[in-house]
Structure 1
Amino acid sequence: MSNWKSLPTKSWSVTGQTLIGLGASEGPYRTSYAIETGTESFLNGRVSAMIHITSNRSVAGAGLICRANEIRTFVAFYVVTSDIAAGQYHVHLAAFKEGRIVLSAKLKKTISIPDHQFHISLQFFSGDIIGEIAAGPEHHTLSYTVAEVPFPGNCGLIRFYNTTTVARKIQIEKISVAPILPERDEKGADDPAIYPYSVFLSHSSADKETVLKVIESFKRNNISYWVDHENIEYGDPIVAKIEDGLRKSKYIVVCLSEKFARSGWCRAEYGAILHREFSGDTSRRVIPLSLDGCKDSSAIPLLLSDKLRASFTDQTDFNKFITFLQN
């Protein structure tokens, strides 16, 4: 238990096998966290602990972090007191960048935590994050796919709003083999019931005219596809529709162009699948397709730069790409 670093300094202390958070905090959520530095940072793993919130503050919170660095960037799974129901807690999964939340998910209902003690675990593999809490007789699970490309980091504990926190039975382990994910559980990757679409087209709306020409080629060659303007109607929940299309598509084709480089939304679309490739999951694939033949490196996202690209402007190459999708 000696290889812990607290941020801010001296905001956590080690006593035997117990980690205690007390005192200094910083940022808009008055946070302090401690990371285990005895091992190299890693991308995939699990962390768990028994946590006791000992302060009687009206607003309190504590939990676990993974993929953490020293500039308050990490993924956190934690509880925080409800501002509506007394004695209840909200359960959150959130990604923080330099101390501020950039995306998050929350359990729909609040939970009770008898004696303010609970067992908490956080599993992270590629873009898939699963948090579990056992409080008294109740067990709660919250999962989320983080749409930003992950980077290795350290694991540890976090507390919010200057909450005095005691953590015991802390366990951290690296995962080298992918957990069984729902989409690969019972049926093979080539099963049309799993992937009714061959292709999910991720593109900038500014490239729609060219994308329509790509779609015409898919139609002529009986390649099933999902594209936003054909599957999202007025009033539909956009994010839910896109997530459904991604789940049902075998290949995610990223349509690259100078215009695409300016679209952060597109990165969120293909990011979660790219996470899995980085972690050894080859059942699905992200494929770059150059729409305009642009060779400017700024038009090609860094994490796609090493992938073999198909070209729409090179007819011979595009025909090979069509044949690949048909097989």
Structure 2
Amino acid sequence: MSSWQTFNNADWTFSERSGNLIGHGGGIGDYAASYAVDTSLGRKHDDRVLPMLNGRVSAQIRLSSGTGTGAGLVCRADLGWTFVAFHTISANPTEPTALARFSVFQEGVLVPVAELPEPITLGRGYNHFSLEFYSGRMRGEIRTEEQKYELLATCPHVPFPGHVGLVKFYGAGLVAKSVTAEETLMPFVTSAERERTRGRQDFAYDVFLCHATPDKPEVQQLAERLGKDGIRCWLDSGEVQFGDRITQRIQEGLRQSRYLLPCVSPRFPDSVWAQSEYAAVLNAQHSGDSSRKVIPLMLADAKVEHIPDLLVDVRRVNTTNQVEFEEFIAFLQSQ
């Protein structure tokens, strides 16, 4: 079944066509538990995928057997029923709510470690689950269409590298898609830590997205991706309104942004507007003003020859390299 390794094989189906993993209920033991790990996710080394000690896993999960049943993500999972889980569990069988928990499964026993104080309400469709783990720190997040929930915990119970994947309890049925994971080399930043850091900043925006007009659809998707991670973006389509003086609004955006990101593509060298935007900040940087910096952002079809000459030796970010892009987001969050 692809690269997924499941426990209670009859409880899981992998769709080669859609890439979705489907849980059918079932499960074993007092918790009717069942889990699955993807052995292809993690750091590649010598044609092998190494288990992760520190990292992040996320997935879109839709519960098909009621919002109160238990399902979620696992990390540091071995192949013998030991793992750390960030999951939902039934709050009340008569209510359409759930509790979000961190739990450890060892030697057939599920031990709760931390629980979100208030019940959560999952959407009827897909809900975004993510789990970050670094040393003994854990951060779980669930995003619905209506709300975001965050749970933090210290969980040193399973201090060894392991696999990541999905878990379900009490006969839950689920469909999971867009499962991603990567190993991380630096501690994650919580929402509260990010807000405290921002309180010390003098900038209204974290980044100014400088781009050629034909690249706007791709840049808008990048802005949405950054926004979901709490990065404040200045993008002309959202900041310049009808009747505004365009040059004035751009100048205000440049002054109020900590980093300017030239979105490099084959179209970028022909954009006069884009050249003038990054040149203003680059000139100030070369004159000794280090309060703002220019960081080239390579779009999907960008090549080295498309980078402006003055930016060739500047460390850049490749948007198609997921690990590098996540590290860049962590860098922005820590500033």
TMscore range, shorter length: 0.5 to 0.7
- Matched letter for residue 53 of structure 1: L
- Matched letter for residue 56 of structure 2: R
TM-score by length of 1: 0.52
Offset at residue 114 of structure 1 (A): 2.3
TM-score by length of 2: 0.51
Name 2:253's counterpart in structure 1.
Answer: none
Offset at residue 181 of structure 1 (A): 7.3
Counterparts in 2 of 1:109 and 1:148: CA distance versus 1, 3 Å: same
- Provide Cα deviations, 1:133-189, integer angstroms capped at 9, x if missing partner: 0112200000100143511100000111111110011111111223357999999xx
- Provide Cα deviations, 1:114-144, integer angstroms capped at 9, x if missing partner: 2153110000000000000011220000010
Name 1:214's counterpart in structure 2.
Answer: none
- Matched letter for residue 69 of structure 2: A
Name 1:65's counterpart in structure 2.
Answer: 74
Counterparts in 2 of 1:182 and 1:24: CA distance versus 1, 3 Å: closer
Distance 2:142 2:191 in 1: 21
Offset at residue 4 of structure 1 (A): 0.4
- Matched letter for residue 157 of structure 2: E
Name 1:303's counterpart in structure 2.
Answer: none
- The aligned runs of 1:299-310 (5 Å cut-off) are none
1:131 aligns with 2:117: no
Name 1:25's counterpart in structure 2.
Answer: 27
Counterparts in 2 of 1:18 and 1:148: CA distance versus 1, 3 Å: same
Moved over 3 A (4+): 180-187
Distance 1:141 1:67 in 2: 20
Q: CA RMSD in A?
A: 2.6
Distance 1:29 1:65 in 2: 15
1:14 aligns with 2:14: yes
Contact 1:54–1:116 (8 Å) recurs in 2: no
Name 1:163's counterpart in structure 2.
Answer: 172
Distance 1:103 1:133 in 2: 18
Distance 1:79 1:162 in 2: 13
Offset at residue 104 of structure 1 (A): 1.4
1:47 aligns with 2:49: no
Distance 1:146 1:61 in 2: 20
- Matched letter for residue 111 of structure 2: V
1:105 aligns with 2:114: yes
Three-state SS of the structure 2 residue aligned to 1:28 is coil
Contact 2:61–2:174 (8 Å) recurs in 1: yes
Identity of aligned residues (%): 35
- Provide Cα deviations, 1:257-296, integer angstroms capped at 9, x if missing partner: xxxxxxxxxxxxxxxxxxxxxxxxxxxxxxxxxxxxxxxx
Contact 1:59–1:161 (8 Å) recurs in 2: no
Name 1:3's counterpart in structure 2.
Answer: 3
Q: How many residues align?
A: 186
Unaligned runs of 5+ in 1: 188-327
Distance 1:124 1:158 in 2: 16
Three-state SS of the structure 2 residue aligned to 1:115 is coil
